[in-house]
């Protein structure tokens, strides 16, 4: 199994670089960054860093690890621009980029910045066209496409990524559309979920693969979950059983290892841990180290 580190986008670049460099030096396998321009909450007067810019800087500053957006919102950029950005950063990194992409969901930033939000159906239709264009640009000499949302003519993309092909990750759990698009185009799939959630959606993804004649094993699977970890079990009691609004792992290293084993059993290839619950830098590094030193070795 791989273990990815996802650092929050509301920090200064100096703090982002410090914790990401620490992740690389201590044995984490990947760095991930959310693609948003403002918080999804009432108080929007908070700093938010732009994802691809940060990833370009990390590609130059932090060696070895894979890195990518989790995930880039399709509605924020023309797909040709997304492909060009990813290919460029792949060269900066020496071939370590994962092009993570999703249909887009955060309505308040669409309204604030004038991005067309539309209906869920229109966003998914746009997303299908965009993924097809990106895949063609990254792998073909020239790309022609005429759809309802995008049209490009004899479009090149040079230089091509260092990777052949670059890894394309699709994020989301929509059973009918997102997972069908994943089955057709992606090399990786990601979802926020506990092991039972992942197992259920993997069955749906495998079914879509079967429908189009693709081997499901060609698509690696990753999961995200918040983490509260401590050697002091009593200090974790206030977090146990609380509804955090998303998948959450709470426990000592041994207890966390039991949950990670469940992820492995349902076919998860990479567990991605956000630092959103880790607190200031010293506490963050302590939680990171506790996980990577006491939990991760059991699965490598």
pLDDT for 152 equals 96
- Report the pLDDT averaged over residues 248-257: 98
pTM equals 0.96
Question: Residue 203: is its pLDDT beyond 90?
Answer: yes
Closest CA to 93 of 70, 65, 112, 135: 65
Helix (H, G, I), strand (E, B) or coil at 251: strand
- Report the pLDDT averaged over residues 220-246: 95
pLDDT for 215 equals 98
For the chain, give the percent of residues with pLDDT over 70.
100
Q: Which residue has the tokens 């180290």?
A: 289
Alpha carbon distances (Å) from 287 to 17, 254, 282, 292: 17, 14, 9, 9
242 CB neighbour count, 10 Å cutoff: 10
pLDDT for 185 equals 98
Q: Which residue has the tokens 């791989």?
A: 2
- Report the pLDDT averaged over residues 169-176: 97
pLDDT for 241 equals 87
What is the C-alpha to C-alpha distance for residues 41 and 34, in angstroms, rounded to an integer? 15
228 CB neighbour count, 10 Å cutoff: 19
**138-149 pLDDT, tens per residue?**
999 999 999 999
Query: Which tokens in the block code for residue 51?
Result: 């994802």
**60-80 pLDDT, tens per residue?**
999 999 999 999 999 999 999
- Report the pLDDT averaged over residues 113-120: 97
pLDDT for 82 equals 98
What is the C-alpha to C-alpha distance for residues 40 and 109, in angstroms, rounded to an integer? 8
256 CB neighbour count, 10 Å cutoff: 23
For the chain, give the percent of residues with pLDDT over 90.
98
- Report the pLDDT averaged over residues 233-261: 96
Question: Residue 39: is its pLDDT beyond 90?
Answer: yes
What is the C-alpha to C-alpha distance for residues 65 and 227, in angstroms, rounded to an integer? 21
- Report the pLDDT averaged over residues 106-130: 97
Q: Crossing angle of helices 51-61/13-26, nearest 10°?
A: 50
All domains of the chain in start order, with CATH = 2-220 (3.20.20.30)
In degrees, to the nearest 5, what angle opens at C-alpha 215 toward C-alphas 165 and 102?
Answer: 55
Question: Residue 282: is its pLDDT beyond 90?
Answer: yes
């Amino acid at each position: 199994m791989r273990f990815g580190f996802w650092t929050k986008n509301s920090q200064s670049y100096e703090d982002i670089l410090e914790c990401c460099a620490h992740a690389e030096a201590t044995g984490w396998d990947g760095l991930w960054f959310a693609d948003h321009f403002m918080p999804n909450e009432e108080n929007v007067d908070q700093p938010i860093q732009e994802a691809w810019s940060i990833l370009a800087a990390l590609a130059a500053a932090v060696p070895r690890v894979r890195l990518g957006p989790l995930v880039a919102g399709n509605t924020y950029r023309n797909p040709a621009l997304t492909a060009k950005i990813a290919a460029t950063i792949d060269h900066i990194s020496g071939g370590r980029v994962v092009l993570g992409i999703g249909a887009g969901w955060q309505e308040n930033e669409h309204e604030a910045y004038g991005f067309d939000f539309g209906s869920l159906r229109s966003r998914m239709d746009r997303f299908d066209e965009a993924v097809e264009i990106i895949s063609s640009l990254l792998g073909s000499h020239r790309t022609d496409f005429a759809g309802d949302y995008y049209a490009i003519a004899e479009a090149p993309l040079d230089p091509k990524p260092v990777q052949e092909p670059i890894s394309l990750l699709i994020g989301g759990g929509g059973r009918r559309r997102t997972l069908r698009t994943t089955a057709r185009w992606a090399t990786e799939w990601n979802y926020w979920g506990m092991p039972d959630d992942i197992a259920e959606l993997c069955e749906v993804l495998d079914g879509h693969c079967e429908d189009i004649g693709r081997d499901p094993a060609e698509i690696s699977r990753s999961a995200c979950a918040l983490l509260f970890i401590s050697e002091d079990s009593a200090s974790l009691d206030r977090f146990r059983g609380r509804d955090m609004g998303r998948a959450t792992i709470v426990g000592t290293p041994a207890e966390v290892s039991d949950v990670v084993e469940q992820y492995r059993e349902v076919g998860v290839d990479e567990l991605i841990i956000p630092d959103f619950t880790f607190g200031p830098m010293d506490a963050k590094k302590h939680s990171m180290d506790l996980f990577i030193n006491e939990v991760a070795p059991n699965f490598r």
